[in-house]
Amino acid sequence: MASILAVDDSASMRQMVSFTLKGAGFDVKEACDGVEALAEAKRGKFDLVLSDVNMPNMNGIEFCKELRQLPDYKFTPVLMLTTESAGDMKMQGKQAGATGWIVKPFNPEQLLSTIKRVLG
Amino acid sequence: MSIDLSQFHQVFFEESFEGLDVMESELLELSPDSVDDETVNTIFRAAHSIKGGAGTFGFMQISEFTHEVETLLDEIRAGQRALEQLHVDLFLQSVDCLRAMMTALNEGSEPETARADELKLQLKAILHGEAEAAEGDSNDASEATTGGSERAGWKVRFIPDADVLRTGNEPFRMFRELEGVAPNGIKVMVNESELPEFANLNPEECRLSWTITVMGDIEQSDIQTVFEWVEDDCDIDYIALDADGQALESGAEAKADAAEASAEAAVAPEPVAAPAAVAEPANSEAAQSESVKVEPAKPAAAKAEPAKAKAKPNRGGDQSSIRVSIDKVDSLINMVGELVITQSMLGQLGQDFDISRMGRLLEGLSQLEQNTRELQESVMKIRMMPISFAFSRFPRLVRDLGNQLGKKVNLVMQGENTELDKTVMEKIGDPLVHLVRNSLDHGLETTAKRIETGKDESGTITLNAFHQGGNIVIEVKDDGAGLNEERILNKAIERGLVAANANLTPEEIHQLIFLPGFSTADQVSDISGRGVGMDVVRRNINELNGTIEVKSQKGTGSTFVIRLPLTLAILDGQLVEVCNQTYIFPLVSIVESIQLQKQTLNNISGSQPVMKLRDEYIPIIRLDQVFNLRPLEEEVEEAMLVVVEGDNEKIGIVVDDLLGQQQVVIKSLEQNYQRVSGVSGATILGDGTVALIIDISGIGKKVDGRAAAIPGSEQAA
C-alpha cells in the first residue's frame, strides 16, 4: 500500500490525518515540522507527502523546496494543507514545487478523495 | 467512510491550551518599540493552528473568532501594519476569551460568546477598510455560463507547462480523475508536435499537450476542479459541446477544434504514462547534477521551540494526566530490567543455598536495595514537573496588576527548571498568586514614592526556586518598602491579636501578618482584599507539610520564603513509640525533643497542662491519651517530650520513646479506611506493621478544650 508522510505541528491534526489514512489502508509516518519531515523523507520513501504550511523550525514551503532537491522526491506528489485565508500561500507553495493543496478545514472524506487524485 | 472526529477533541484542546499559553507568554515579550519577527511568527502560528484545528473539529465559534485574531496578526507579521500596544492588549484579551470558550467546550458546555463577539467587533474595527484580497479567489468569475440543457460534453485543451511534472502533477492522474467525474467517459488525444528530437529530449519536461473530450453533461467547475492545481501555470481551454460534438459557442477556434476532434480516436490515457516512465531512470543522473543543492536541515532551524517541547499541566477537568518525557520512561524501563536481573540472580542463589554463599547473597541483597532505591527515585520523578508551570502565569499577572495599580514592575524568575511534585505544584499555585499580588500591592511603593526615595522607578519582584536538602524552596521577593512594623503592630493591637503593651522584636512583628484576620492595607483594595489573608496562605502551605516565613528590611523590601517537601508521597518521618505502638511525626514539624521533667509541668488553665519551656508556655498533649492506649492514671516513666510546631503554635507531645528517622511512603487513610482526625495518613514499616502518621495541627485541635492531664502535674503547679 502507498506510504504517506504527514507533516503538521498540530498533534490533533496529525492524529486526525494519520488516523484517517491508516483507516483507509495507507502506511503513514508523522513528522511535526519541516526539519523532522526532511529527515524522515531521507530515511524512507514515501509515495505522497502532506504538509502543513505554518510550522516552527522549518515551514511547509521551505520543506517543500528542500524536498524537491532530493532525488527520490523529484516527482512525488506533495500536498500542502492550507487555509483559505492564505491565498498567496498557494502560489508560494506551487513555486516551492508543491503539487497541490487541501484547504483547511477539511474532513476525513475530503482528505481521502483528494489524495486519491494523486496516488496510483 | 465516516470517522468520529470527537476522538481527537481531547488532543485538540490540550494543544490549543498549550498554544494559548505560548501566545500569552510571547505576547508579553512583545512591545511596540521592538517587534521581534520570530515572536510575532510564533504567536501567529499558535493562532493559526488553533483556527485550523477548531475548523476541522467543528468548533466554528473558536475558528471564526480566531480568524480575526489571525488576520490582524498576519498583517503585523507581513509588515502591513505596525504593532500598537492596543493590539497586544486586544490579543491578550482574546487569549483569555478563547481559553474561557475552550474550557467550556472541553467540559461539554456551550461557550459564552458575548465577550468573543465584542472582541471580534474591536478586531474588525481595526481591520476595517483593509482589503482582504487573500480571500475569495477560489473561483474564477470567468466561469462560462452555457446553456445547460443542450450541452452534451466538453472539449478541454490542456497544454501543460513544461515543468508540470516537477511539481508532482501527473497529467495521467488528472485524466483518470476526469474519467471519474465524466458521466459518459472521456476521450484523450495527445498532441506531440512540440516534442523535440529524441537527442534533445529532456525526460523531466512535459512537451506533450492533450485534447480531452469529456462526454456527458457536467458543470465546467467540475472539470476545473481537476485542473485546479495547475490552472495557473498551464494553458487550459474549455469548450462546451452539443450532442453532435460541435462547439456550442462557436468561434473560429472552436471550429478548428471540432475538426481535430472528429479525427480523434478514442485513446485511453496510457500514452501519458510514458514520459513519466522515462523520467524515472533519469532521476539519479539528474539529481547528481543538482546534488549541490541537496543540503541537510539548516542548523539555525534546528533549534527546538522550547515552549512546544515542554509538557503542560492538564486543565481538562477531572481526568488528570501528566505528560512524561520519554527519557524518564526509558530510565524506568532500564531500572526494571536491572531489577529483573537481580531477581533472577537471587532466585538462582536461593535454589541451592548454602551458607558458604552468604557473601553472594548479601551482595545480591545490596544490589536489590540499590535497584529499589533507584526505581523509587525514578518513579517519583515521573510526578516531578518544572516549577515553570506554576511560574508561567506570573508575567501576565504582574503586567496586568502593574497596569491596574499604575506601578512599573519587573518580574524576574529564577530556577524555573527546579522540579516539584505535580500535586504540590497544583496546590502551591494559589498561595503564590496571593503572595505576588501582595508584594505588588503592598510591598512595592508607588512610582512617585520610589523616585522620591531615590530608588529605580520600576520595582522588581523576584520569584526564585531551588532545592535545598530534600525540600524545594520558593522565594517571593520584592524591593519595596519592607513591612511597616509600626503599622502591623498597631493593627494587631487594635484587633486584639497581641497585648497593647507587648514588647515584640521586629521578627515577631513580621510573623503577625500570618495571624487570622489580618490585612495591612489602609483600605481594602481591589487587588489583595479578597478575604484571603496571609493566614490562609500559611494554612495552605502547612497542609502541604511546608512552612512559610518572611524576612523584611525596612526600605529595601521583603522576602517570603516557602519551604515545601519535594513530594507528598514520601515523608521524612520521626518514628516514636507509645505503648508499643509506632507513630510517625513529620520531621519538618519537630522543633526539639527533650526528656520530660514533671516538675516543669503546670496546670494553669484548669485542665490543660502546660509546660514552661525556656520563656514560653506550651500546651502538653499525651499521645497515649489521645489514642486511648493507656488508663489516664497510669504513671509514665522516662517519657520523652517532642516539641512540634503546627499552625505557628508549639505544642509538646508526650511519647514513650524516640525511635529512628526514616523516609516513609504515605498511604491514604481516607482511601483505605476513613478519615481520622489527628492522623494524616499511614505507612507500612519494614516489618510489615502499619504506623499512623500524626497530623500535627490536627492533633492540636483535637485536644483543644479536652482534658489531658498529666498525673503528678498538679503537685508541681
Confidence of residue B709 (pLDDT cuts 50, 70, 90): very low
Determine the pLDDT at residue B88: 86
A107–B contact, CB cutoff 8 A: yes
Per the model's pLDDT, the better-predicted residue between B240 and B255 turns out to be: B240
A41/A27 Cα distance (integer angstroms) = 14
Determine the pLDDT at residue B180: 82
Q: Which residues of B touch A38 (CB under 8 A)?
A: 296-297
Q: Determine, for residues B283 and A38 on separate chains, whether the beta-carbon distance falls below 8 Å.
A: no
Per the model's pLDDT, the better-predicted residue between B181 and B278 turns out to be: B181
Global pTM value? 0.54
Q: pLDDT for B556-589, tens place per residue?
A: 889 999 988 777 777 888 999 988 889 999 888 8
The answer to whether the beta carbons of residues B554 and B530 sit under 8 Å apart is no
Determine the pLDDT at residue B535: 80
Per the model's pLDDT, the better-predicted residue between B689 and B515 turns out to be: B689
Q: Work out the average pLDDT over B473-495.
A: 86
Confidence of residue B280 (pLDDT cuts 50, 70, 90): very low
What ipTM, to 2 d.p.? 0.84
The domain segmentation of chain B, as residue ranges, is 5-127, 153-279, 326-382, 386-565, 570-716
A9/A36 Cα distance (integer angstroms) = 10
- Residue range B386-565 in CATH 1.20.1440.230: no
B600: helix, coil or strand?
helix
Determine the pLDDT at residue B190: 87
Cα nearest neighbour of A13 on chain B: B53
Cα nearest neighbour of B59 on chain A: A105
**What does each C-alpha distance from B105 to B6, B96, B472 come to in angstroms?**
12, 14, 36
List the strands of the sheet with A3-7, edge to edge: A27-31, A3-7, A48-52, A78-83, A100-104
Residues ≥6 apart with Cβ < 8 Å to B123:
B68, B69, B71, B72, B90, B94
Confidence of residue B1 (pLDDT cuts 50, 70, 90): low
Catalytically active residues of B, by annotation? 48, 70, 438
pLDDT at residue B392 above 60? Answer: yes
Determine the pLDDT at residue B265: 40
Q: Determine, for residues B286 and A108 on separate chains, whether the beta-carbon distance falls below 8 Å.
A: no
Q: In which element (H, E) is residue A115 found?
A: helix A108-118
Q: pLDDT for B643-681, tens place per residue?
A: 988 766 788 898 888 998 888 888 878 777 888 888 888
| CA quadruple B357, B361, B366, B367: dihedral, nearest 10 | 100
pLDDT at residue B249 above 70? Answer: no
- How big is the CA angle at B85 (ends B79 and B88), to the nearest 5 degrees? 80
Name the residue among B621, B14, B684 with its Cα closest to residue B322.
B14
A97–B contact, CB cutoff 8 A: yes
Q: Which residues of A touch B279 (CB under 8 A)?
A: 75
Name the residue among B550, B569, B568 with its Cα closest to residue B560.
B550
Cα nearest neighbour of B279 on chain A: A75
- Residue range B570-716 in CATH 3.50.50.60: no
Q: Work out the average pLDDT over B171-200.
A: 83
Q: Which residue has the cell 519595596?
A: B480
Determine the pLDDT at residue B315: 38
Specify the CATH class of A3-118 in words: alpha beta
Which of B5, B42, B48 shows the shortest C-beta gap to A16? B5
Q: pLDDT for A65-102, tens place per residue?
A: 999 999 889 889 999 888 765 567 777 888 888 888 88
Q: Determine, for residues A108 and B3 on separate chains, whether the beta-carbon distance falls below 8 Å.
A: yes
**What does each C-alpha distance from B268 to B81, B188, B504 come to in angstroms?**
54, 6, 102
Phi-psi region of B129 (alpha: psi -120 to 50; beta: other; left: phi over 0): left
Share of chain B above pLDDT 90, in %: 6
Determine the pLDDT at residue B569: 73
**Is the link from the previous residue into A108 a cis peptide, with omega within 30 of 0?**
no
Confidence of residue B603 (pLDDT cuts 50, 70, 90): low
- Residue range B153-279 in CATH 3.40.1350: no
Q: In which element (H, E) is residue B715 found?
A: helix B713-716
Q: Which of residues 51-80 of A touch B (CB under 8 A)?
A: 52, 54-58, 62, 66, 68-72, 74-78
Determine the pLDDT at residue A50: 93
Name the residue among B416, B395, B399, B529 with its Cα closest to residue B465.
B416
Chain B interface test: which of A26, A75, A78, A109 (most B C-beta within 10 Å) = A75
Which of B8, B55, B174 shows the shortest C-beta gap to A15? B8
Q: Work out the average pLDDT over B147-155.
A: 68
Backbone φ, ψ for residue B156 (5° rounding): -115, 125
Q: Which residues of A touch B166 (CB under 8 A)?
A: 68, 74-75, 97
Confidence of residue A48 (pLDDT cuts 50, 70, 90): very high
Q: Determine, for residues A107 and B233 on separate chains, whether the beta-carbon distance falls below 8 Å.
A: no
pLDDT at residue B266 above 50? Answer: no
Q: pLDDT for B331-378, tens place per residue?
A: 889 889 989 998 998 888 888 888 888 888 898 899 898 888 888 878
Concatenating the DSSP letter of every residue in B344-367 gives HHHHHHHHT--GGGHHHHHHHHHH
Per the model's pLDDT, the better-predicted residue between B138 and A113 turns out to be: A113
Q: Quick one: fold of B5-127?
A: Four Helix Bundle (Hemerythrin (Met), subunit A) (1.20.120)
